[in-house]
Amino acid sequence: MTHIESKPGLSAPTLTASARRQVAPPVELHSVATAFPPFRFGQKEIAAKAAEVFGHKPELMQRMMRTYGNAGVETRHSCVPLEWYGQDHGWPERMRLFEENAVALLTQAGRAALDGAGICADQIAATVTVCSTGISTPSLDSLIQGPLGLRPTVQRLPVFGLGCAGGVIGLARAAAMARAMPGAWILFLCTELCGLTFRRGDDSKANIIGTTIFGDGAAAVVLRALPDERPAGPRTGTRAVIEAWGEHTWPDTRGIMGWTVEDDGLGVVFSAEIPNLIKQRMRPATDAFLAANGLAPADIAGYIVHPGGEKVVAALEDVYGFEYGGLADARAVLAACGNMSAVTVLAVLERTLARKARGRHLMGALGPGFSAAFSVLDLQ
């Protein structure tokens, strides 16, 4: 390692956060696309199946049934039929279904994103692929190279374990890669098949809560950094530029959210304290992130957040000063798709861009760690 000493009386110039954003090439999102598996269930159908599966504990289900109506979810997508959830399944079957469906969904979302950006797959220089609900080796990004038509020389970054925060952190990693490769096209891919983690023999409250909110889906984003501020070409919709990103992990919070590895699959970890932690800790972390980037809450025109569930989105509305229902895009995605882990916030982003929102937006999600992930997007 080379050590460079500063001369007495001299100091390195310090750039403000605003100046750093001006020096770094802007990272522009050129398209966002989502994809969903073929099966779609209403909340009442799922509640009925849960009552059947957990019928051996009638008192527990009687207490839990109201959560299906209070989850903020109306419909969800699944890569397997409803009957699958009433049967036992082991790791080999789960991972076979995971790989098969993840590749199909990522290919579908990736093609839609490429079409939306008006480019061909062989123009992609690098990919970032996020998933936390299944394991595949070779990794998913290598498995979709052929179906998508990516070059054999494409640079790949697979990321596992970010949970619900993966949509924001993964996009940040893709933006960092784009900034390091000005002019190169980067493809960010994300899929979560939450339904495949359901374990019929687990009658814990956390597993049952998962059945009230979890859904399956995928998303893809095409982005590129250019050495100047000019848009890459004619544009009829919203131009989205990623200005900054960051994270905050609270110490000693590993047991708040995540997975445990069980004999027959992944076991969900949900703490009942998540809404309270959001109310107590989210605002200071948000304000610190904004301040580190030369911004204040008054500079934020809107919020693109991962809704989690009804209690989580309500807590976020409280933290960010909204009336109940104020985070309308997040609630709409939760109602239509449920909690798709990392994919959810990208679906909220897609919806926000589709309605041609303008101004600086804060993108945020919470995930295992226990961690908060942030990005600042300027929608023009």
Instruction: Report d(CA 351, CA 329) in Å as an integer.
Output: 7
**Percent of the chain topping pLDDT 70:** 91
For residue 255, the model assigns a pLDDT of 87
The ranges assigned to domains in the chain are 27-225, 240-379
For residue 5, the model assigns a pLDDT of 32
Going by CATH, does the domain composed of 27-225 fall within 3.40.47.10?
Answer: yes
120 given a catalytic annotation: no
What band does 228 get if pLDDT is binned at 50, 70 and 90?
A: low
Residue 3 reports pLDDT greater than 60? no
For residue 22, the model assigns a pLDDT of 55
User: At residue 214, what is the residue type?
Assistant: F
For residue 237, the model assigns a pLDDT of 62
What band does 4 get if pLDDT is binned at 50, 70 and 90?
A: very low
Residue 312 reports pLDDT greater than 70? yes
Residue 13 reports pLDDT greater than 80? no
**Mean pLDDT on 90-98:** 95
For residue 193, the model assigns a pLDDT of 97
Asked if 359 contacts 96 with a C-beta cutoff of 8 angstroms, the reply is no
What band does 239 get if pLDDT is binned at 50, 70 and 90?
A: confident
What DSSP state is assigned to residue 56? T
Instruction: Report d(CA 164, CA 157) in Å as an integer.
Output: 18
For residue 269, the model assigns a pLDDT of 85
For residue 136, the model assigns a pLDDT of 92
What band does 267 get if pLDDT is binned at 50, 70 and 90?
A: confident
Residues 6 or more apart whose CB falls under 8 angstroms from that of 213 comprise 71, 73, 308, 309, 334, 338, 339
Overall size of the chain counted in residues: 380
pLDDT digits (tens, 9 = 90+) for 292-305: 999 999 999 999 99
Give the containing element (helix H, strand E) for 68. helix 58-69
- Cα 359 to chain centroid distance, Å, stands at 21
240-379 and 27-225 share a CATH fold: yes
Across the chain, what does the average pLDDT equal? 89
Residue 77 reports pLDDT greater than 60? yes
Tokens of 6: 């500063």
What band does 229 get if pLDDT is binned at 50, 70 and 90?
A: low
For residue 54, the model assigns a pLDDT of 86
Asked if 363 contacts 376 with a C-beta cutoff of 8 angstroms, the reply is yes
Tokens of 204: 């814990």
For residue 303, the model assigns a pLDDT of 97
Q: What is the CA radius of gyration of the chain?
A: 21
For residue 69, the model assigns a pLDDT of 87
Q: Which of 79, 120, 131, 164 is catalytic?
A: 164
Number of CB atoms found within 10 A of residue 239's CB:
16
Residue 234 reports pLDDT greater than 60? no
The CATH classification number of 240-379 equals 3.40.47.10
Least confident range of 31-35, 66-70, 218-222, 239-243: 66-70
pLDDT digits (tens, 9 = 90+) for 328-366: 999 999 999 999 999 999 999 999 999 999 999 999 999
pLDDT digits (tens, 9 = 90+) for 126-175: 999 999 999 999 999 999 999 999 999 999 999 999 999 999 999 999 99
**Mean pLDDT on 222-240:** 70
What is the per-residue burial (b if ≥16 Cβ within 10 Å, else e) of 49-75? Answer: bbeebbeeeeeebeebeebbeebbbee
pLDDT digits (tens, 9 = 90+) for 185-226: 999 999 999 999 998 888 888 888 889 999 999 999 999 998
Asked if 56 contacts 21 with a C-beta cutoff of 8 angstroms, the reply is no
